[in-house]
């Protein structure tokens, strides 16, 4: 019989789907129901994923693929709904994931043992494999039919690539026509239609749509200097950007309606997401003074036009992701150019933003969510926090692992002097009040290290570590907490130690 924590973990995986079904049933019955008090606010359980991520991809099942670390040597990870797996590589030192589908297949680019850059696919069960074709290749996206798109080395070329599709049976479809130099497909829907851009003539790049047979449609430039397409929905609508006088202007394209401008031609926009209802979100540049750029977020559709999203009096706000329930996530920034003042928020359509920090269930003390990066149709959200990348799962059931907050102590900016002794603390919570834990900690400075101490009572605890820095440099502190069943979570923090 499964343990209590295993049952909690299984229930946590089912909770988002059940919540979505309940939401659908509630909306169906709303018209016939008598007036009642407002539904209780959604709470979110927190799941630690890993360090701050440079790429984050969330699928419909609440699984997350993410890459962290420096751009020349990122670490790549996959959260399967209960635990995090490392992707590894094809034998070289570089791997960078780009996409994941609802079956948990991850794609991207990895260096093999001969230093060739290959497109790859990866699964928990099968690990990493190189995709067939030329050795210079990159896979950018995968659909739920296991069709992958990206770019491969062009015929007779050393460095230039052209758009390509890998089919589920292992065959390749070159997406035509051949470009002047470069082309790449970056998104694909379940009908096998993909989008990207191609250099049709030297330094003349156009947004492209490739049908299931690989035939291209050049979307043109809409009166600008160039264009690109980055998103496609289930019905084949395409979201892209054309550039005019150095400004980006969003557009929506369909075979029936052609190209339609998103917002005014004289603006400067960053369109960020498209849902299956043809709704678009993005950010309008309202203050253009480097480095104090400020943006105003919006939602747009053909039917309703552009609607600004409220930012609760903040001078700056950004939207980053949108689902098919018209839920939008991003952040607002209370103090311009102060990352610490950012707070992750959720908009339900054009309603006032909800600070997600106020909706957390049994979160560790001191945890702060800075920005929400992705949301799926079940309402699961991926967010940046002071404890690294986290998944917010609707309801009160996360995973069996403990939940860790940020590593607190030292200066807020992590700046120290050689010889400083610091006391660092990590708070944690556990879904099982009777659980007990072990903690390990490390600092990669090569200095003598004391074992951390752990205190806990009824599912709440903290880990303390005292450390003296005997070297100057940039160092990483890691703290890991594990329960008796081996369920673990880890957080880390970078500290800068300077010589006198």
Cis previous bond, 177, omega within 30: yes
Between CA 15 and CA 23, with CA 19 as vertex, the angle to 5 degrees is 175
Q: Is-contact 309 297, C-beta < 8 A?
A: yes
CA distance 1 to 144: 34
- Using a 10 angstrom Cβ sphere, with 0-12 exposed, 13-18 middle and 19 or more buried, the burial of residue 213 is exposed
Answer left, alpha or beta for residue 349, where phi above 0 means left and psi between -120 and 50 means alpha.
left
Question: What whole-number distance in Å separates Cα of residue 346 and Cα of residue 328?
Answer: 6
Looking at residue 72, its pLDDT comes to 87
The CA distance from 487 to 489, in Å, is 7
Distance, CA of 331 to CA of 434 (rounded, Å): 36
Tell me what pLDDT residue 264 has.
80
| 181 phi and psi angles, rounded to 5 deg | -140, -60
Exposure on the CB side of residue 396, measured as CA atoms within 13 A: 5
* ∠ CA 41-42-44, rounded to 5°: 140
Domains of the chain: 4-25+42-402 (2.120.10.30), 405-498 (2.60.40.10)
Query: In this structure, are residues 151 and 162 in contact, taking their beta carbons and an 8 Å threshold?
Result: yes
In contact, 23 and 378? CB cutoff 8 Å: no
Residue with tokens 């678009």: 280
Q: What is the pTM of this model?
A: 0.91
User: What's the pLDDT at 9?
Assistant: 44
490, 403 in Cβ contact below 8 A?
Answer: no
pLDDT value at position 290? 64
Rg, the chain, Cα only = 24
Q: From CA 319, how far away is CA 345, in angstroms rounded?
A: 9
Question: Could you report the per-residue pLDDT of 170-191, keeping only the tens digit for each?
Answer: 899 999 899 989 999 999 999 9
CA distances to 18, 126, 287, 363, 500 from 269, in Å: 37, 41, 12, 36, 46
The rounded distance, in Å, linking the Cα atoms of 68 and 391 is: 15
Q: Which residue from 413, 468, 410 is spatially nearest to 443, judged by alpha carbons?
A: 468
Q: Are 417 and 500 in contact (CB under 8 A)?
A: yes
First to last CA, the chain: 60
Three-state DSSP at 13 gives: helix
pLDDT at 39: 65
Segments of the chain scoring below 50 in pLDDT = 1-36
Distances (CA, A) of 192 to 126, 128, 162: 24, 23, 18
Neighbour count for residue 344 (Cβ, 10 Å): 28
User: CA nearest 187: which of 150, 224, 228?
Assistant: 150
Distance CA 450, CA 436 (A): 21
Distance CA 430, CA 435 (A): 7
């Amino acid at each position: 019989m499964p343990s209590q924590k295993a049952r909690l973990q299984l229930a946590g995986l089912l909770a988002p789907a059940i919540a979505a079904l309940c939401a659908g049933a509630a909306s169906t019955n709303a018209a016939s129901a008598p007036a009642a008090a407002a539904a209780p606010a959604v709470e979110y359980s927190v799941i630690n994923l890993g360090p701050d991520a440079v790429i984050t991809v969330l699928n419909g099942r609440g699984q997350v693929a993410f890459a962290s670390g420096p751009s020349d040597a990122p670490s790549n990870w996959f959260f399967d709904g209960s635990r995090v797996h490392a992707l590894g590589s094809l034998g070289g030192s570089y791997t960078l994931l780009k996409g994941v589908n609802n079956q948990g297949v991850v794609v991207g680019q990895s260096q093999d043992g001969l230093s060739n850059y290959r497109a790859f696919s990866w699964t928990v069960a099968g690990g990493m494999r190189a995709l067939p074709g030329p050795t210079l290749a990159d896979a950018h996206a995968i659909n739920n039919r296991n069709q992958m798109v990206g770019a491969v080395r062009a015929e007779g070329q050393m460095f230039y690539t052209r758009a390509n599709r890998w089919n589920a049976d292992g065959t390749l479809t070159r997406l035509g026509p051949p470009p002047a130099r470069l082309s790449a497909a970056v998104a694909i829907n379940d009908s096998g239609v993909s989008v990207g851009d191609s250099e049709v003539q030297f330094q003349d790049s156009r947004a492209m749509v490739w049908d299931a047979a690989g035939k291209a449609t050049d979307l043109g430039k809409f009166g600008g200097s160039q264009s690109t397409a980055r998103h496609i929905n289930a019905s084949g609508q395409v979201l892209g950007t054309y550039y005019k006088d150095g400004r980006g202007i969003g557009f929506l394209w369909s075979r029936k309606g052609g190209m339609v401008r998103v917002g005014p031609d004289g603006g400067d926009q960053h369109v960020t997401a498209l849902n299956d209802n043809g709704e678009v979100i993005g950010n309008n540049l309202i203050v253009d003074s480097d480095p104090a750029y400020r943006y105003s977020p919006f939602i747009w559709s053909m039917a309703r036009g552009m609607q600004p999203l409220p930012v609760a009096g903040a001078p700056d706000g950004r939207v980053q992701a949108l689902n098919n329930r018209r839920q939008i996530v991003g952040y607002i920034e209370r103090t311009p150019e102060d990352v610490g003042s950012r707070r992750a928020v959720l908009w339900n359509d054009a309603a006032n933003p909800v600070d997600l920090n106020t909706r957390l269930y049994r979160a560790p003390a001191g945890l702060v969510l800075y920005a929400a990066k992705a949301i799926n149709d079940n309402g699961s959200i991926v967010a940046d926090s002071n404890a690294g990348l986290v998944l917010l799962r609707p309801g009160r059931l996360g995973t069996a692992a403990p939940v860790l907050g940020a590593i607190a102590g030292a200066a807020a900016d992590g700046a120290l002097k050689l010889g400083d002794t610091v006391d660092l603390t990590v708070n944690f919570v556990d879904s099982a009040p009777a659980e007990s834990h072990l903690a390990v900690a490390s600092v990669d400075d090569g200095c003598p290290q004391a074992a951390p101490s752990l205190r806990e009572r009824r599912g709440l605890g903290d880990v303390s570590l005292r450390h003296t820095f005997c070297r100057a440099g940039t160092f990483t502190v890691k703290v890991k907490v594990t329960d008796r069943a081996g369920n673990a979570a880890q957080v880390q923090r970078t500290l800068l130690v300077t010589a006198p």
